[in-house]
């Protein structure tokens, strides 16, 4: 019961970028600041840039910068961009036929907790998550 590493990386990067919304960072700098493997991060940033959550500039002095609309970028979007959101509507025991009408024995208990997590990721924006460590 945990995020994929890639998802952790993605949220870490986005939180960092959101903390310096005017600045542009190269992959190399992000790699050093956030302790994420350089090449892996490169591909991740490319993926994130394609969703529009970060803006990219190529060439010398290029790099990545968060999209200015911090309060429009939700955690669920970051998670959805990397590991998807299927798990948040899934039976915890993997029963395909599990539903409110035909519940598995953990259905209700898990539903409540899962909804609390969804409430978190669907209501938290990057504007809520800035962190200044400078």
43 in contact with DNA (CB under 7 A): yes
Binding to DNA (CB under 7 A) within 102-121 occurs at none
Torsion angle (degrees, nearest 10) of CA 85, 121, 67, 86: 0
Stretch that binds a copy of itself, among 25-33, 46-54, 61-69, 113-121 (CB under 8 A): 113-121
Sorted by sequence, the CB contacts under 8 Å of residue 132 that are 6+ apart come out as: 19
* Nearest distance in Å: CB 89, a copy of itself: 11
**Rounded Cα distance, 27 and 42, in Å:** 6
Q: Can you list the alpha helix ranges (DSSP code H) found in 20-37?
A: 27-34
| Contact of residue 51 among DNA, a copy of itself, none (CB under 5-8 Å per partner type) | none
117 in contact with a copy of itself (CB under 8 A): yes
């Amino acid at each position: 019961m945990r995020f994929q590493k890639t998802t952790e990386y993605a949220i870490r990067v986005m939180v960092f970028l959101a903390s310096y919304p005017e600045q542009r960072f190269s992959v190399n700098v992000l790699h050093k600041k956030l302790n994420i493997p350089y090449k892996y991060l490169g591909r991740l940033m490319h993926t994130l840039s394609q969703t529009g959550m970060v803006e990219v500039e190529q060439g010398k002095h290029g790099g990545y910068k968060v999209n200015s609309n911090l309060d429009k970028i939700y955690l669920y979007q970051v998670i959805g961009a990397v590991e998807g959101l299927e798990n948040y509507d899934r039976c915890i025991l993997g029963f395909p036929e599990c539903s409110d009408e035909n519940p598995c024995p953990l259905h209700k208990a898990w539903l409540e907790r899962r909804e609390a997590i969804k409430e978190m990721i669907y209501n938290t924006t990057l504007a809520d998550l800035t962190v200044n460590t400078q």
